[in-house]
Amino acid sequence: MTILHLPVDRAAGVPLHRQIYEGYRRAILDGRIRPGQRVPSTRALAEDLGVSRLPVLAAYDQLLHEGYLAARPGSGTFVSDAVPDDLLRSPAPAGSRPRPVRAAPRPAPRARDYGGLGPFRVSLPALDQFPHAAWARMVARHAHALSHAQMAYSDPAGTTALRVAVADHLRTARGVRCEADQVLVVSGSQAALRITAAALLGEGDRVAMEEPGYPFARAALGANGAETVPVPVDEEGLSVARLRRSERRVRAVYVTPSHQYPLGMSLTAARRFALLEWAARREAWVIEDDYDSEYRYVSRPLGALQGMDPNERVVYIGTFSKVLFPALRMGYLVVPPALWQRFMEVRTTFDLLSPTLYQLVLAEFLSEGHFARHLRRMRGVYARRRAALLAGLARHCGGRLTVHNADAGLHIAVLLADGLDDREAVRRMAARGLTATALSPCYADQARARSGLLLGFGGFTERRLVEATRVLGEVLGGSA
Ligand SMILES: Cc1ncc(COP(=O)(O)O)c(C=O)c1O
């Protein structure tokens, strides 16, 4: 419905119906209201303008008669699709002021292309296995029952029920040492990273990043003017020795200890202790991004780094993007008590709070056991999908790539044979309906970048994955 700003002036000496007619006509010609947009009913407009219906009826009659408006029986009155440009550009009737030519309407923005949803799109969980019915019932029930308090502004830290449920889950499933009052509910890891950057890092500060690392973390942590310092990873994860050698003070370090993004290894126990010891000695903060640690295929899931730290120097970040779905935009921080106040101040000025409706739904999803059940089921689904991808790669892509790590998570990192450019491979894959992420853009230092692909398997059936590896083999073999 188009509510047009239409000042009518009873003292103007111009009849009301003429003012309304002119107001609408000019708005259509200026492009302020566009073909296909609905206009209010005569009753609603009369009420809105504080006039009787008669002048509104007269104005609409004329606009309909002249073709500016069109009535669609049963659905209302709309700006006509068929206002001919000639008419729009015709000279103003004698006596009226010259009017501007209708501004050419720009097309509605096209949805931004996020790289397609074909195999091997990374960061895509098994949406085909999501318990839609149970979820939809819970959303509907909570939406119906929303109280006034729940519709109003509320605690920026999140609802108590969700904070308690998240803390329970993290203590038992991830070995995080936390109480509910340390849990800050936010809109996904990305928001968590921006909040962390604003709370800990200012202009001129330095933050160490895994190299290669998660580009979105690099961008978020550098957003407030902090300098990001790449520290290489090897098969044991972040090189703490290289971090120690860094001469200038590093205020924080970002790590993905359970499943290094993008290469996939986990930070060994020895490195974890060394990192925590370094942080305590240098009074630095460790930012732990535990984005997909629920899924591990070769050994038991590792506990969180945060749970090993007696000194409370770890800011822990988790998300529901991989375990439920990314568009939910729900994640959380576990904040060391000493930093709580600062994080709350930032969170409050950031986006106030996360949508209460979904917090209520999630809290029930967790506390009623749906979440644990879903995770258990997904572990089997992903194990089968991962095995199908590995088998397909061995069968169709042998010699053109090597699997670097496939121990955990929802994607496999592969390195391309010498001479194959990963960005070019991604382009050629896209032409065949495949979606992948190139490894080389994950390096801050492009001179040292390795060529590889991140192949997501979470969102695709085994059959689809095997078929996609056949196509991938053709693409990498040059026959695309
Ligand atoms: C390293 C890493 N952290 C976090 C996320 C999740 O981000 P978000 O919670 O903002 O959806 C991803 C998703 O791909 C990721 O790869």
pLDDT tier at 113, thresholds 50, 70, 90 = low
Looking at residue 142, its pLDDT comes to 98
Please write the tens of the pLDDT for every residue from 305-319. Answer: 999 999 999 999 999
* Ligand 1 nearest-atom number relative to CA 329: 11
What is the crossing angle of helices 53-65 and 42-49, to 10°? Answer: 130
Look at residue 372 in the predicted model and tell me its pLDDT.
Answer: 93
Query: Which pLDDT score is estimated for 479?
Result: 43
Region 82-92 average pLDDT:
57
Write down the H helix ranges in 52-205: 53-65, 85-89, 132-145, 148-151, 160-174, 188-200
Q: Cβ distance 266 to 408 under 8 Å?
A: yes
Q: Is 319 in the pocket of ligand 1 (CB under 6 A)?
A: yes
Query: Is 222's pLDDT higher than 60?
Result: yes
Cα–Cα distance for residue pair 298/150, rounded to 1 Å: 43
pLDDT in tens, 162-178: 999 999 999 999 999 99
Can you tell me the mean pLDDT for 76-102? Answer: 63
CA 43–ligand 1 middle distance (angstroms): 50
End-to-end alpha-carbon separation of the chain, Å?
A: 50
- Please tell me the distance between residue 189's alpha carbon and the centre of ligand 1 in angstroms: 6
Say what the pLDDT of residue 274 is: 98
Asked if residue 301 has a cis previous peptide bond (ω within 30° of 0), the answer is no
Mean pLDDT of all residues belonging to the chain: 92
Ligand 1 pocket test, candidate residues 124, 189, 411, most atoms within 8 A of CB: 189
pLDDT value for 84: 56
pLDDT of 480: 39
pLDDT recorded at residue 252: 98
Residue 260, ligand 1, Cβ within 6 A: no
- DSSP string of 374-424? HHHHHHHHHHHHHHHHHHHHHHHSBTTEEEEE-SBSSEEEEEEPTT--HHH
Integer Cα distance of 304 and 41 in angstroms: 60
Residue 418 pLDDT greater than 50, yes or no:
yes
Distance 277 CA to ligand 1 centre (A): 27
- Ligand 1 centre and the CA of 408: distance in Å? 15
Tell me the pTM.
Answer: 0.89
Residue range 317-343, pLDDT digits in tens: 999 999 999 999 999 999 999 999 999
How confident is the model over 132-156, as pLDDT tens digits?
A: 999 999 999 999 999 999 999 999 9
- What's the mean pLDDT in 65-83? 91
What's the confidence (pLDDT) of residue 53?
96
Q: Is 331 in the pocket of ligand 1 (CB under 6 A)?
A: yes
* Cα(39) to centroid(ligand 1), Å: 43
